[in-house]
């Protein structure tokens, strides 16, 4: 392809994790110097300076050589120890109904769609809501004691919109960045967890309230900006929970109507995405799925949730299979493209913007030509905005889901400059009732009842026909466009197309404005064959048909 992967960056991996023993070395030195009471003040100060210089240089050198060593995974739902010997729980879920007070019972729906009652008392810490009651659908994190009747006696409840005790900071250029970051860590009692070296962006862990820490950092002359580490998620909404199961054979996957809708037949077997690498940033991919295994390009450090080299799509969880399903759509349209899975969301579909920004940068560093983002993140994240801008400037194509909220409000990363935003339409090319819309949407593609690959392990646990399933959402529409981008890139590399991928796909898309009048515009409809240069008309492949089993609603 036109981009050469940089497997060994000049300064080590673009994203470096730093171990705690190096982060607190400056504090150890200070404690040691304080203990030298017999020395003169001048002598102690001189030794402190020398030791600090050695510490900073050693930490910088070792961190650059080390690469990734510790995960920056999002907070998980795990039992916690209580000072009274009772089991304390952390839960994540969405507020299920309107609440009128910060005292009383709140009904919360967990990731697996199980309801739980959270009991708030005058002692419950709700400061993060800033005296504003949350609306139904708001994601929450609650900590407390699980009562015998199944309710949660909450010690703390907060919006689950950012990672607690984490701050993302971009430093201004300096002669010695290592010294600057170590000085900040010491002065503000923080530790460095990770760094995006290309942009001088650091993830700090703080013992104190992260918002208070940001307030102080913003007034520091060494800091360009500081922000919360926002949570990112698989797009939710009504289509997210609806499943339809088919035969374990792939006939209904290969021959589904959606491929005809995007005009794939004239291209099949002619242009296939040769020498193009597509990165899928999602819940991972079933690494053993027979339809995908030969197409996978698994790179080191690609599971950023569990910090392993195996980005497997594992469960159980509400988002189990999401990445595998996305991968199958891409592979069906661009079968020769290499698929690079990076796991940035856990099995419940939860991640954070720092992980996402790192994965985007790392994928580009490892040679990805197209990046599929069937997920959503906070639009206020400068970390994500600046990372995407840098990667797009390198020529990498980024395609993202518009979201499933039936809303015209721009979502991110889909609405960021240079990103191709994808909405979902039905078989008649009419916007689905749940797809987002608006002038910020670039293209529309099929997103309702899409059949694709699914983890074999799910079938084993649920006694369902293995290997394939149908799912709806803008997450499913997005990989149609991602795969089309891979086909365009193949022809751009061969000199047959001069326009950019964005220009080529939009210019040759089908005008569906009459079917989706304002304000419900969703851009042009994807037309794969029209966007490519075909030497001769091709005979469409024979089509077979298969019946589906009844729909299943996961609860």
Q: Is the pLDDT of residue 301 over 50?
A: yes
Residues 6 or more apart whose CB falls under 8 angstroms from that of 124 comprise 102, 103, 144, 154, 155, 156, 157
Strand runs labelled E in 318-427: 338-343, 350-352, 370-373, 397-401, 420-425
- Judge contact between 167 and 190, C-beta under 8 A: yes
- pLDDT (0 to 100) of residue 22: 29
More confident: 12 or 81 = 81
> Model's pTM, two decimal places?
0.77
Pick the CATH number of 238-539 from 3.90.78.10, 1.10.540.10, 3.40.50.200, 3.60.21.10: 3.40.50.200
Please state which of the ranges 59-63, 260-264, 346-350 shows the lowest mean pLDDT.
Answer: 59-63
Strand runs labelled E in 234-319: 242-245, 277-282
- pLDDT (0 to 100) of residue 335: 97
| pLDDT tens by residue, 344-363 | 999 888 899 999 999 999 99
Q: Is the pLDDT of residue 9 over 80?
A: no
Please state which of the ranges 246-250, 293-297, 549-553 shows the lowest mean pLDDT.
Answer: 549-553
DSSP 171-234: EPP-S-HHHHHHHHHHHTTEEEEEEETTTTEEEEEESS-HHHHHHHHTT-TTEEEEEEEEEEE-
Q: Which two tokens stand for residue 448?
A: 């309702």
Provide the pLDDT confidence category of residue 236 given band limits of 50, 70 and 90.
low
Between CA 24 and CA 475 the distance in angstroms is: 42
Q: Is the pLDDT of residue 550 over 50?
A: no
CATH class of 82-159: mainly beta
In which residue are the tokens 């009772």 written?
86
The distance from CA 152 to its chain's CA centroid, rounded to whole angstroms, is 29
- pLDDT (0 to 100) of residue 284: 97
- pLDDT (0 to 100) of residue 422: 98
- Judge contact between 374 and 413, C-beta under 8 A: no
Average pLDDT of the residues in 445-467: 78
- Judge contact between 346 and 76, C-beta under 8 A: yes
Positions annotated as catalytic residues are 282, 322, 475
Which element (helix H / strand E) includes 470? strand 468-471
| pLDDT tens by residue, 158-206 | 998 888 899 999 999 888 988 999 999 999 999 998 888 767 899 999 9
- pLDDT (0 to 100) of residue 237: 55
Beta-sheet pairing, 420-425 with 397-401? parallel
Nearest CA to 220 out of 265, 187, 193 is that of 187
Average pLDDT of the residues in 75-87: 52
More confident: 458 or 196 = 196
- Count CB-CB contacts under 10 A for residue 85: 6
Q: How many residues does the chain have?
A: 555
| pLDDT tens by residue, 467-524 | 888 899 999 999 999 999 999 999 999 999 999 999 999 999 999 999 999 999 999 9
- Judge contact between 202 and 171, C-beta under 8 A: yes
Mean pLDDT, the chain, whole residue set: 81
Q: Is the pLDDT of residue 80 over 90?
A: no
Q: Edge to edge, what strands does the sheet with 242-245 contain? A: 450-453, 468-471, 242-245, 551-553
Q: Positive or negative CA dihedral for 364, 366, 371, 372?
A: negative
Nearest CA to 361 out of 142, 197, 159 is that of 197
Q: What are phi and psi of 11, to 5 degrees?
A: -110, 30
Q: What end-to-end distance do the CA atoms of the chain give, in Å?
A: 44
Burial of 90 (0-12, 13-18, 19+ CB in 10 A): middle
Q: Is the pLDDT of residue 28 over 90?
A: no
Q: Is the pLDDT of residue 251 over 50?
A: yes
- pLDDT (0 to 100) of residue 462: 56
Nearest CA to 279 out of 376, 392, 364, 336 is that of 364
- pLDDT (0 to 100) of residue 357: 93
| pLDDT tens by residue, 96-139 | 999 999 999 999 998 777 899 999 999 999 999 999 999 998 88
- Count CB-CB contacts under 10 A for residue 315: 16
Between CA 377 and CA 540 the distance in angstroms is: 39
More confident: 13 or 456 = 456
Please state which of the ranges 244-248, 319-323, 456-460, 476-480 shows the lowest mean pLDDT.
Answer: 244-248
Phi-psi region of 463 (alpha: psi -120 to 50; beta: other; left: phi over 0): left
Average pLDDT of the residues in 389-402: 97
């Amino acid at each position: 392809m036109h981009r050469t992967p940089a497997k060994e960056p000049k300064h080590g991996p673009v994203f470096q994790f730093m171990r705690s023993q190096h982060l607190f070395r400056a504090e150890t030195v200070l404690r040691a110097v304080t203990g030298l009471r017999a020395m003169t003040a001048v002598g102690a100060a001189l030794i402190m300076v020398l030791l600090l210089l050695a510490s900073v240089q050693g930490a910088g050198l070792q961190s650059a050589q080390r690469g990734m060593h510790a995960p920056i995974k999002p907070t998980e739902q795990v039992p916690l120890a209580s000072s009274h010997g009772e089991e304390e729980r952390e839960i994540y879920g969405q507020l299920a109904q309107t609440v009128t007070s910060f005292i009383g019972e709140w009904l919360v729906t967990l990731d697996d769609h199980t309801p739980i009652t959270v009991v708030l008392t005058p002692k419950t810490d709700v400061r993060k809501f800033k005296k504003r009651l949350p609306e139904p659908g708001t994601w929450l994190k609650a900590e407390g004691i699980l009562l015998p009747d199944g309710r949660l006696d909450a010690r703390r409840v907060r919006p689950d919109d950012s990672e607690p005790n984490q701050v993302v900071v971009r430093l201004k250029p300096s002669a010695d960045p290592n010294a600057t970051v170590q000085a900040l860590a010491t002065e503000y009692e923080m530790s460095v967890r990770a760094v995006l070296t290309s942009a001088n962006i650091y993830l700090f862990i703080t013992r104190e309230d992260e918002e208070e820490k940001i307030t102080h950092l913003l007034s520091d002359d060494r800091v360009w900006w500081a922000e919360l580490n926002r949570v990112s998620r698989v797009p939710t909404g009504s289509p997210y929970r609806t499943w339809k199961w088919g035969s374990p054979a792939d006939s209904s996957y290969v021959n589904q109507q959606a491929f005809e809708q995007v005009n794939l037949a004239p291209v099949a077997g002619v242009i296939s995405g040769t020498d193009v690498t597509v990165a899928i940033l999602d819940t991972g991919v079933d690494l053993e799925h027979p339809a995908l295994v030969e197409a996978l390009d698994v790179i080191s450090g690609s599971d950023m949730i569990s910090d392993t080299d195996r980005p497997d799509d594992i469960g159980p969880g509400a988002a189990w299979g999401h990445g595998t399903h996305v991968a199958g759509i891409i592979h069906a349209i661009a079968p020769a493209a290499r698929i690079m899975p990076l796991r940035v969301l856990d099995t419940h579909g939860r991640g954070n913007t720092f992980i996402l920004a790192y994965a985007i940068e790392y994928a580009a560093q490892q040679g990805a030509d197209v990046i599929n983002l069937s997920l959503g993140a906070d639009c206020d994240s400068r970390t994500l905005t600046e990372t995407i801008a840098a990667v797009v400037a390198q020529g990498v194509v980024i395609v993202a889901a518009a979201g499933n909220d039936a809303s015209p409000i721009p979502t991110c990363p889909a609405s960021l400059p240079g990103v191709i935003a994808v909405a979902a339409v039905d078989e008649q090319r009419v916007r689905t009732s749940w797809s987002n819309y608006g002038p910020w949407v670039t293209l529309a593609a099929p997103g309702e009842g899409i059949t694709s690959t699914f983890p074999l392990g799910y079938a084993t646990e649920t006694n369902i026909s293995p290997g394939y399933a149908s799912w709806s959402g803008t997450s499913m529409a997005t990989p149609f466009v991602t795969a089309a981008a891979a086909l365009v890139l193949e022809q751009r590399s061969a000199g047959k197309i001069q326009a950019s991928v964005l220009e080529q796909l939009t210019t040759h898309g089908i005008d569906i404005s009459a079917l989706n009048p304002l304000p419900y515009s969703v851009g042009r409809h994807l037309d794969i064959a029209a966007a490519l240069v075909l030497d001769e008309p091709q005979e469409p492949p024979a089509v077979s048909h298969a019946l589906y089993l009844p729909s299943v609603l996961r609860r």
